Structure 1
Amino acid sequence: MNGRQKARILIPHLVLAALTAWSTRVHAFDVLRAEQGISATAAASIVPVCAFDKTPGRPLGLQEAVERTLCSNPKTREAWAAVKAQAAGVGVARAAYLPQISANWQGERESSVTDIENHPQLSSDSNATVRSAGVSANWTLYDFGGREATLRNAKALLEAARATQDATLQDSFATVAKDYYATQAAMSELQAANDVEAMTHRSMTAAQARTDRGVAPITDALQAQTQHEQAVFSLTKAQSDAQTALGMLAADMNLDPSVPLEVPPVTEGAVTGKTFSEPVAQMIRDVEDTHPSVRAARAQYEAALAKVAQTRAQGLPTISLVGKYDRNNQPQSLGLGLPTFPATGHEAYIGVQVNIPLFEGFGRHYQIDQAKAQAERQADAIDEAAQKVALDVWTSYQTLTGATKNAENSANLVAIAQRSYDAARHRYDVGVGNILELMNTQAALANAKQRRIQALADWDNARVDLASKLGTLGREDIP
C-alpha cells in the first residue's frame, strides 16, 4: 500500500474523529437543552464508543464488521447529522421565545468645510472624531400560536430524524451482516472448490493409472481429465467471487476495497433452530406500531399538522415589546458660520409594537392549502409505511422458515452424498465400479457441499433480515 492509498484510508477517519470531538464540545454549550438527546456516535446506543484499530481484526468477526459499519458508513453518519440538524432546529424554535438584543458602535473621522463665496464670515471648517453607540431590543410577546406551532413542528421533525436514524442503523446492520455472511459463504465455496479440485485430481490420477495398466479404456482417463478441468474452472471463479465479496464487505465499513480482510468460512456446527417463537400475526401487529419507519412517518405527519398551524399564525398580528438606547458625541453648531462645539447626546425609547398583516395577495390562503395537502400526504405515508413493514415481516418470516428447513435438509444431503461417493470410489479402486459412477457421485457430493454452505449462509441472513424488518436488531443478534 503506497502513501496515497494510506492517506485515503486515514483522512476520513481523522475527519470523523475531529467532528465527533467538536460535536461533543458544542453539545456541552446547550443553554436551551435542545441537543441533550443526541447520541455520541453515529451508531447511537448500539455502539456507544467508536474506537477501532487502523487495521481490521484477523480474522474479522461479525461484531467488529457491524460496529465499524455503523460508526463509519456514510449512510449512518448522514442520518446522525440529520438528527443534529433537527435538534438545532428545536433550539432555534425555543430561541424565538427570548428577546432579541443587538448592539452597534460606530467611529469615524469627520472633516466638514463650507466655503460661501463673498461671505467668508459664514464659511466654516471643522474636524471631529465622532463615535456613536446604541442598544436595541425586540421581544415578541404574543403571536397567536405561531412560535408554539413552530416548536411543535421542530420537535416532530427531530423525532422523525431520530426514527429515520434508527431505521438507517437497522438497514445498515442487516446489509453488513448479509455481506458478511455472503463473504463467509464465498470463502467456504472457495474452500469447497479447492476440495473438489483435489478430489477430481485424485480421480484423474487413478483413472490414468488404470488406463496405463490396460485395465480401463482411454475414455475413462479423458472423462476424468474433463471433470478435473471443470473443477479448475470452478475454482478460479470461486477465487474471483471471494475477492469481490471481501471488497463489498470492506466498502460497508468505509474502507478501501483493496484492504486485506480475513473472514472465516461458514461454521458447519451452527445451530439453525427457529429463533422467533412469537406468531407471525403478532409480529406484524407489533411492527405496524413500533417499526422506526412507521414512527418516522407518524412524526412527519405531526410536523405537517404543526406546519399548518404555523403557516396560519404567520398571517396573524404580532405584539412585541421594543426598546432602544443610543448615545453619540456629534459636535454641534449654534448656527450657520458659527464654530462647532463638542457635545454629547442620547436617545431612548420603549414601547409596544403591533404588526398587523392586512393584505398578502391571497398568498397566505394558498400556503395554508399547501400545508394541509402536505399533511394529507403524510397521513397516507403512515399507511404506506405500515403496509410495507407488514409485508416485509411476512416475507422475511417465510424466508427464515424455509431457510431453517433447508439447513436441516442440506446436512442430510451432504451425509448421503458423502457415503455415495465413498462407496463409488471404493468400487472403482477395486475394479468393480466404472468411471461414470464415480464421476456422478463426485459431482453430486460437490453440489451437496455447495448447497450446504449456501443453506447455512441463507439461514444466518434470514435470521438477521427478520430482526431488521422487526426493527429490533442489536448486539444480542450477533452470534
Structure 2
Amino acid sequence: MKSTHARRATLLFGCVLLSGCLSDPSKLTSSAPDKPWGPGGGNGSFAVHGSINDTLATTSTGPEIQVKSGKVYTLSELIDLGQRSHPSTRVAWEQARQAAAAVGIAEGTFLPMISANVIAGYQDVVTPLPTLLGGTDYVSTKASGVTPNIALQWLLFDFGERQALLNAAQQTAVAANISFNGTHQALIHNITRAYYLYGVARQKSEIAEHSLGNSHKILAAAQGRYSSGIGTSIEVAQAKQLVAQSRFRLVQARDGLDDAYQGLTGAVGLAPNVQIKVASSTGRRLPGTRGEPTDKVVQQALSRRPDVLASYAALKASEANERAAAAAFLPKVYLGAVAAANRGRVQAGNLPGAGLQSTTSGVMLGVTVPIFDGQIRKNRQRQAASATRAAAAVHRQTKDAAVREILLASNSVRSALASYEAASELRRASVVTYNAAFEAYQNGLGTLTDVTAADSSLLDAREAQADAHAASLLAASSLAFMLGNMTSSSAPEDALR
C-alpha cells in the first residue's frame, strides 16, 4: 500500500514539475489595451523568424487622464485619451490574448495527460442449484467494489508534428500582437486626421465670422455714401445682400464645425454627448519639403509597418501548419501508465462475506502507425499547402501596396506644401486688393462691385490657405503612418524625421 501511495505521489509531483515548463500566456502579449507589445519584452515572448527586421517601435502613452470640463485638450492628450477609451484597442488586445492562449494549448500537448478516475460497481448473480430432493434452490452471489486509479498518457515522439503546430501558434500570436500595435497606430492616425479636419473647420468658421464683419463694414460705407448723396439705394441693397450671403456662409461653416467635432470625438472613442474643448491647430508648423523616398527609407518602412510584419508572420504560421500536416503521416510513440487500488466485497448465499483488496500498477509503451483514414490527412496536407501559397501571395501583395502607398503619400506631401505656398501668396495679394478697393470706395473713387469682388476673393483666399495648411498636415500624418512612424502622439512633422 505504501508503494502505491509513493507511485501516486511521484506522478503528481512530476505533473507539477512539468507544468512549470509552460509559458504564461499573459506574458506573451501586452499587459493592457493601451500598452504596446514588443518582441522580447517578457518571459516566454518570441519573435518573427526570417529575413524581415521585426523591430517594432512602441507607442508612448502618458498618465491616465479623464475628460475634464473646461480643459483644453491638445492633440497628444486626445491621442492618450483615445488609446484608453476607444473600443478598437480593447478588441485587438483580446484577440492577441486569445492567440497567446492558443500558444499555451500547443505547449500543453508536449506534456503528459494525467487523470484521476474512480470506478464503482455492484453485481448480484442468482444461480439455480438442484437440491437432493429433486427440487431447485437459488443461490445469490453479491459483489461490490470501488477502484480508484491514476492514469497517465504521454505522446513521446511524433516526428515534429506538435513542434510545427506550436510554431504555427507562436507565429499567429506574433501576428496578433503586431496587429494590436497596428491598431494603435491606426487609432493615432485617425485621431490626428480628425483633429486637423476639426481645426480647419473651426478656422473656416472664424474666417466666415471675419467675412461677415467685413460685409457689415461695406454696408456701413454704402449707407454713409447714400446719406451723403453720392451713393445709391441700389448700392445699399447690394451691400445688404452681401451681409446676408456672409451670414449664410457662417451658418454653413458652423454646421461643418459641428460635424467635424462629432468626427473628432468619434475618432477618440468618446460618447456623442461628451463636450470637450480642443486646442487650435492653426499655428502648427508644417514639415519641410521632402524628396522621393529612397530604397533604404522604403525598406526601413517595410520593416516597421504592422501590416507587412503581420502578413509575414501569417506566412510563417502557414508554413508551420504545412509541416505539421506532413508529419501526420508518420508513426507516433506513446507512453501509458496506471496506478490503481481495488477494494471490494463478495458474498455468496448465506455464507459470510469476504473482503477483497488489491493494487495494480503498470507502464506501457506503444507505437501507432496510420495506414488508412479516407485521405483525411492527404486533404489536410493539400489544404495547408494551398494556405501557404495564399499567404505568400498576400504577403507579396501587402508589400507592393505598402510601397505604393508610401510613394503616393510622399507625392501628396510635396503637392500640399506647394499648394500652401501658393495659397499664402494668394491671400497676401487678396488682402492688399481688398484694402485698396474698400479705401477707394470709401473715398468715392471705386465702386461697390469692386469691393464685393475683392471681399469674395479674400474669403476664398483665406479658405484656400486654411485648406492647404490642413491638407499639408494631413498629408504629413498620412506619410508618417505609411512609413510606420506614427507610433506616438508627436506631431506628424516630428514623425517624418
TM-score normalised over the length of structure 1 = 0.85
The residue aligned with 1:169 is: 184
Distance of 2:354 and 2:250 partners within structure 1: 100
Give the Å deviation of 1:368: 0.7
Distance of 2:22 and 2:339 partners within structure 1: 27
The residue aligned with 2:249 is: 234
The residue aligned with 2:462 is: 449
Moved more, 54-63 or 387-396: 54-63
2:165 matched to 1:143? no
Out of 357, 362, 365, the position equivalent to 1:349 is 362
Distance of 1:337 and 1:447 partners within structure 2: 114
Distance of 1:277 and 1:414 partners within structure 2: 27
The residue aligned with 2:33 is: 42
2:27 is paired with a residue whose SS is coil
The question of whether the paired residues in 1 share the 8 Å contact of 2:66 and 2:81 is answered with no
Distance of 1:124 and 1:324 partners within structure 2: 30
Distance of 2:85 and 2:353 partners within structure 1: 69
Give deviations 1:184-224, integer Å, cap 9, x for gaps: 11111111111111221221232233234432122211211
The question of whether the paired residues in 2 share the 8 Å contact of 1:60 and 1:262 is answered with yes
2:428 matched to 1:415? yes
Q: Which amino acid aligns with 2:430?
A: A
2:139 matched to 1:122? yes
Please show how residues 328-367 of structure 1 align to structure 2 within 5 Å: 328-333=342-347, 335=348, 338-367=351-380
The question of whether the paired residues in 1 share the 8 Å contact of 2:61 and 2:80 is answered with no
The residue aligned with 2:336 is: 322
The residue aligned with 1:204 is: 219
Give the Å deviation of 1:111: 9.2
The residue aligned with 2:45 is: none
The residue aligned with 1:220 is: 235
Give the Å deviation of 1:275: 6.6
Distance of 1:48 and 1:101 partners within structure 2: 45
Distance of 1:253 and 1:57 partners within structure 2: 18
Distance of 1:57 and 1:158 partners within structure 2: 43
1:477 is paired with a residue whose SS is coil
Out of 66, 71, 80, the position equivalent to 1:67 is 80
The question of whether the paired residues in 2 share the 8 Å contact of 1:319 and 1:352 is answered with yes
Structure 1 residue runs without a partner (length 5+): 1-28
The residue aligned with 2:472 is: 459
* Cα distance change of structure 1 residues 211 and 48 upon mapping to structure 2, 3 Å threshold: closer
The residue aligned with 1:297 is: 311
Distance of 2:352 and 2:257 partners within structure 1: 94
Distance of 1:288 and 1:47 partners within structure 2: 21
Distance of 1:178 and 1:337 partners within structure 2: 93
Distance of 2:490 and 2:95 partners within structure 1: 27
Q: Which amino acid aligns with 2:65?
A: F
Give the Å deviation of 1:70: 2.6
Give the Å deviation of 1:468: 0.4
Give the Å deviation of 1:360: 0.7
1:344 is paired with a residue whose SS is strand
The residue aligned with 1:13 is: none
* Cα distance change of structure 1 residues 361 and 124 upon mapping to structure 2, 3 Å threshold: closer
Q: Which amino acid aligns with 1:307?
A: N
The question of whether the paired residues in 2 share the 8 Å contact of 1:41 and 1:50 is answered with no
2:187 matched to 1:179? no
The question of whether the paired residues in 2 share the 8 Å contact of 1:90 and 1:154 is answered with yes
Distance of 1:277 and 1:326 partners within structure 2: 78
The question of whether the paired residues in 2 share the 8 Å contact of 1:32 and 1:95 is answered with no
2:72 is paired with a residue whose SS is coil
Distance of 1:444 and 1:475 partners within structure 2: 40
Distance of 1:55 and 1:119 partners within structure 2: 97
Distance of 1:258 and 1:54 partners within structure 2: 12
Please show how residues 368-447 of structure 1 align to structure 2 within 5 Å: 368-447=381-460
The question of whether the paired residues in 2 share the 8 Å contact of 1:124 and 1:338 is answered with no
2:153 is paired with a residue whose SS is strand
Give the Å deviation of 1:306: 0.7
Distance of 1:273 and 1:312 partners within structure 2: 54
Distance of 2:85 and 2:358 partners within structure 1: 61
Structure 2 residue runs without a partner (length 5+): 1-19, 37-57, 130-134
The question of whether the paired residues in 2 share the 8 Å contact of 1:464 and 1:477 is answered with no
1:167 is paired with a residue whose SS is helix
The question of whether the paired residues in 2 share the 8 Å contact of 1:47 and 1:71 is answered with no
Distance of 1:342 and 1:47 partners within structure 2: 72
Distance of 1:107 and 1:229 partners within structure 2: 95
2:111 is paired with a residue whose SS is coil
Question: Taking every aligned residue pair, what percent have the same amino acid on both sides?
Answer: 23
2:288 matched to 1:274? yes
Distance of 2:468 and 2:241 partners within structure 1: 28
The question of whether the paired residues in 2 share the 8 Å contact of 1:143 and 1:317 is answered with yes
